[in-house]
Amino acid sequence: MVNVLIVGSGGREHALSWKLSQSDKVETVFTAPGNGGTENNIPINIDDLDGLADFAQKNNCFTIVGPEDPLAAGIVDKFNQRNLKIFGPSKLAAQLESSKIWAKNFMKRNNIPSAKFEIFDDAQKAQDYVKSLDYNVVVKADGLAAGKGVIVCNSNDDAISAIQTILVKKTFGDAGNKIIIEERIDGIEASYIALSDGEIAIPMATSQDHKRIFDNDKGPNTGGMGAYSPTPIIGDVLAKKIQEKIIDKTIQSMKNEGIVFKGFLYAGIMLRDGEPYVLEYNVRMGDPECQPITMRMDFDLYDYFAASVDGNLSSMPLTSWKNQFAVCVVLASKGYPESYVTNEEISGFDSISNKSYVFHAGTKNSNGKIFSNGGRILGVTALGNSLESAIKNAYDAADQISWTSKYHRNDIGKKGLTYL
């Protein structure tokens, strides 16, 4: 039996801890720093890499990293130097997410399909470039900006103001020292996530996120307002194409460049005329996608994490998945992704039926009571025999929960219905 340390505090980390605590190989699951829903919380911040390593060493933990920041900061390299087992990519491998410019150049030199682009650090040159184009663009900050450093433009004016926001006003700080201006690809978006040991990559179930704050994909981008799995948008033929042309090719190209990619590889995909393009890589599970995906797993996730670390995924059996749909509706506080009130008491947990599970994100537990403590608060996740019934089960459960500033989208999963 091993102990597990999960690094992070969101819905993704709660879902991972929920799943791993079901493994008969896992003794205790710790979460650092965790949230109001996770057990055995350890008060160590995700940027305290030495503190995390000390804890893992003392408690004989196998560590799993949820969010991108500690991966980009080199947590895996640090743990490896100390001979501690940890699931996730090294700092070099994490560049696929931590530098969008690195990722775009990597895709270009390895013929991995993605939008055409140019890089700028000079606002005037960037504006002149935009004016010379006859198509719409997306302006992206190079570095990590919590999913918010991407501005999708509908006109030249939009693009010029996006350049000002990122490069001149520095709204995303140093993450915006350089920008990418890329072609806007109009199509259908889906998430494809695989787990790799550096040699091969095993696909996870497909899913679709809902990134905008309001119904019908209106309003600004967020970390994700809900997700469902599987998505009928990615059928078997397309899944095979994405696996071969994007996932396997990425893992092999990384290897050819001398970088072993271990961990979750997430490709944010845009489908245009049936062809997949990579919008972004993430080097971790998606959140909220992790919540419906873990709920459908019919296998011991710990075994696959251990096989990734040990480099022997090819000896593992195929993963098996519940033949059901899962839907996660994110409950946020009004005002997210900008400003919002925190510290409001949340009620209704006792009324949730066993068809669903409430994963916590921005919550804290104070003397047995749960309070809001962030923007995205809960991920109410439910299974159903059809996508329609999973949607209904998730919203029925979401209706039981209340706090003053509660907000959610009303159309999570609906896009999938139109493809069935």
Which residue lies nearer to ligand AMP by CB, 11 or 37? 11
Does position 280 bind ligand AMP by CB under 6 A?
Answer: yes
Strands 2-8 and 26-33: parallel
Query: Between the CA atoms of 378, 171, 145 and 329, what dihedral angle is there, to the nearest 10 degrees?
Result: 20
Q: Which of 52, 246, 259, 279 binds ligand AMP (CB under 6 A)?
A: 279
Q: How far is the CB of 412 from ligand GLY (least distance, A)?
A: 13
Question: With CB cut-offs between 5 and 8 Å by kind, which of ligand AMP, ligand GLY, none does residue 66 bind?
Answer: none
C-alpha–C-alpha distance, residues 413 and 141, integer Å: 29
Which residue lies nearer to ligand GLY by CB, 19 or 284? 284
Total residues at interface with ligand AMP (CB under 6 A) = 17
Q: Are 184 and 136 in contact (CB under 8 A)?
A: yes
For residues 76 to 105, the per-residue mask of contacts with ligand AMP, x marking binding by CB under 6 A and - elsewhere, is ------------------------------
285 Cβ contact list (under 8 Å, min separation 6): 12, 16, 66, 193, 264, 266, 293
Of residues 181 through 200, those in contact with ligand AMP by CB under 6 A are 182-185, 189
Question: Which residues on adjacent β-strands are paired with residue 402?
Answer: 347
Q: Which of 16, 56, 64, 138 binds ligand AMP (CB under 6 A)?
A: 138
62 Cβ contact list (under 8 Å, min separation 6): 2, 3, 4, 5, 85, 86, 87, 302, 305, 306, 309
What radius of gyration, in Å, describes the C-alpha atoms of the chain?
A: 21
Question: Which residues on adjacent β-strands are paired with residue 345?
Answer: 371
Question: With CB cut-offs between 5 and 8 Å by kind, which of ligand GLY, ligand AMP, none does residue 286 bind?
Answer: ligand GLY
Q: How far is the CB of 267 from ligand AMP (least distance, A)?
A: 10
Stretch in the footprint of ligand AMP (CB under 6 A) among 31-39, 179-187, 314-322, 345-353 = 179-187
Q: How far is the CB of 183 from ligand AMP (least distance, A)?
A: 6
**Interface with ligand GLY (CB under 6 A):** 147, 209, 224, 282, 286-287, 289
Stretch in the footprint of ligand AMP (CB under 6 A) among 16-24, 50-58, 146-154, 295-303 = 146-154
CB atoms near residue 24 (< 10 Å): 8
Q: Are 279 and 115 in contact (CB under 8 A)?
A: yes
Q: How far is the CB of 184 from ligand AMP (least distance, A)?
A: 4
Residue appearing with tokens 């998606």:
286
Residue with the CB atom nearest ligand AMP in the bound state: 280
